[in-house]
Amino acid sequence: MYDNSKNILKAKNLCKSFHNNHVLKDICFDLKFGEVHGIIGPNGAGKSSLIKLFSGVYKSDCGEILLKNKVLAFNNPHKSLKAGISVVYQELDLIPDLTVAENITLGLEKKFLNIFYSKNNECCIAEKALHKLNVTHIPLNKNIRNLSIADQQSVAIAKALSHKSKIIILDEPTAALTYKEIENLFKVINKLKNNGISFIYISHRLEEIIKICDRISVLKDGNITYSCKTSEITHDIIIEKIASKKSALIESNYNKQLTSNQNHPVLELKNLSFDGRSQSISLTLNTGEIIGLAGFAGSGRTELLNAIFGVARSCYGDIFIDGQKNKIKSPKHAIKNGIGMVPEDRKLLSIFPDTEVYENITFNGLRNFLSAKFVIKTLKRIREAALRVKKMNIVSSSLKQPISELSGGNQQKAILANWFFENLKVILLDEPTRGVDISSKNDIYSIIEEWKTKGISFIVVSSDFNELIRLCSRIFVLRDNRIIKSFENNNITEDTIIKTILGNDINEIKS
């Protein structure tokens, strides 16, 4: 019998940095036997990094992790799993073309070597794991890709149980579930909890955290800033702890209102749905306007930008550019129609790390530097890049320096400079100042404002809600791939946005 007053897991003074970016700072955290401990915090708080420390994906720079009072030194996920810690990620790590039984028993093959291996053994183990969840309706021989998201999640939890995990980390487990499916998931969690299994429950949904968790910790800017029993906390207190110390209206020198010649719709979305989602989005962006998309991870912000830019796997609904209906089939087609995009992951999607600064800055306008015989005029290209570097205050030791050696802020300004060569009407910005120093952030704001005065329009996704307040004339709040509310930027505060995102829209799951 377990003692639910004792810790099964304890983190002491954990730190993790990437280069000079301190993502986790002196983290102290504990999890008791048979407890559900919730972690909540804004995007970029360090939640994903903490999960990866517990699961062995990352190794901490300092501090220690104790399991049942024994220090653990993980250096890979297999050792974490072997020690009894499993993670069920929001993006489930199941293999679509394997069966339910094969996925549940994946990684247990060595155990089968000690007995006469057969499909019956495989199915027996899978059936027992699902039975612990009271799940009997999922065929063991059915391929994962043919299951609903809720059933796939049951399989992922059953997989953790087949490895005899005593700690299960759930990362945004209800992001794609209906209210009824959420209710069923909570029943499963409570049953396993009563059998001594402990959970770390990560979610942006405040009502769920309060309903299912015994304790809650707020993670912000790499620190656990607040912890308490959920029975001792209210919605407003949690919102206060998540929000910035200064949540009042941020004053801005920028004119966020439209002028008389800026009331022409440049981009209209009508019932746009994407990536197979049933929800649809409609909005209008005017010439020379900056609008913002607010929401937590998985809300559909980035997916919406990808749909507009022609990246989404499947897209339905209508997109109008300057009143003309367009079918954006690819990024090339989007650019041709005057739409540019700066993705969230600049290193993966926006730069060529090993190439030189001038090459990255002038890549989009490469055709402007071709001779009649299609030979690149390198000197002309370098001269043009030098003008852009000066105009956008990009700090670089040389135009021939690899762009990967620049700071994050200077890389981001170089990415923006690359769009100077296109005749753009709309620029989509996904987390434009993430990982950017204050000086570069102000430079980026100035660039956006300058382009706005020239009639270029922006859709900005940012986890920094004060940034949206500073820049945008309107802010749309997204959750579950739909707009749940829009605000004219008039005396709006960060608290208002957070309250709207967390909301009180999950009453159906309350008992």
Q: What is the CATH number of the domain that holds 316?
A: 3.40.50.300
Do 315 and 374 lie in a common domain? no
Give domain status of residue 113, yes or no. yes
Helix H or strand E segment including 389: helix 378-391
**Complete edge-to-edge strand list for the sheet that includes strand 339-342:** 339-342, 426-430, 457-461, 290-294, 474-479, 482-488
Do 395 and 496 lie in a common domain? no
Do 61 and 203 lie in a common domain? yes
Bridge partners of 341, per DSSP, are 428
Please list, in sequence order, all residues whose beta carbon lies within 8 angstroms of the beta carbon of residue 372, skipping any fewer than 6 positions away: none
Do 231 and 108 lie in a common domain? yes
Give domain status of residue 34, yes or no. yes
Please list, in sequence order, all residues whose beta carbon lies within 8 angstroms of the beta carbon of residue 146, skipping any fewer than 6 positions away: none
Could you tell me how many residues make up the chain? Answer: 511
Residue 66: per-residue pLDDT: 92
Coil, helix or strand for 174?
coil
| Integer Cα distance of 168 and 279 in angstroms | 30
Do 212 and 191 lie in a common domain? yes
Q: Using one digit for the tens of pLDDT, what is the confidence trace for 69-95?
A: 888 877 788 888 888 899 888 777 889
Residue 109: per-residue pLDDT: 60
| Integer Cα distance of 221 and 442 in angstroms | 20
For the beta carbon of residue 342, count every other beta carbon within 10 angstroms.
22
Pairing state between β 426-430 and 457-461:
parallel
Give domain status of residue 24, yes or no. yes
Query: Sign of the CA dihedral 342, 345, 346, 349?
Result: negative
Do 31 and 113 lie in a common domain? yes
- Write out the two tokens for 289: 């306007």
Do 331 and 364 lie in a common domain? no
Give domain status of residue 251, yes or no. no
Cα dihedral 498→499→502→508 (10° resolution) = -170
Q: CB–CB of 166/84 below 8 Å?
A: yes
Do 299 and 443 lie in a common domain? yes
Question: Which stretches of the chain drop beneath a pLDDT of 50?
Answer: 112-113, 245-254, 258-261, 505-511
| Integer Cα distance of 285 and 127 in angstroms | 52
Give domain status of residue 452, yes or no. yes
pTM of the full predicted structure?
Answer: 0.63
Do 435 and 417 lie in a common domain? no
Do 407 and 436 lie in a common domain? no
Residue 118: per-residue pLDDT: 60
Residue 257: per-residue pLDDT: 55
Q: CB–CB of 390/417 below 8 Å?
A: no
| Integer Cα distance of 356 and 4 in angstroms | 58
Domain boundary (242, 275, 308) is at 242
Q: What is the DSSP string of 425-437?
A: SEEEEESTTTT--
Helix H or strand E segment including 180: helix 179-194
Give domain status of residue 511, yes or no. no
Pairing state between β 281-286 and 36-40:
unpaired
Q: Which domain holds residue 456?
A: 263-338+423-506
Do 379 and 437 lie in a common domain? no
- Could you tell me which of 11, 3, 51 has the C-alpha nearest to residue 27? 11
- Write out the two tokens for 86: 């499993």
Give domain status of residue 255, yes or no. no
State the total domains in the chain: 3
Do 182 and 72 lie in a common domain? yes
Query: Sign of the CA dihedral 74, 79, 83, 89?
Result: positive
Give domain status of residue 258, yes or no. no
Per-residue burial over 45-56, b if 16 or more Cβ lie within 10 Å, else e, is bbbbbbbbbbbb
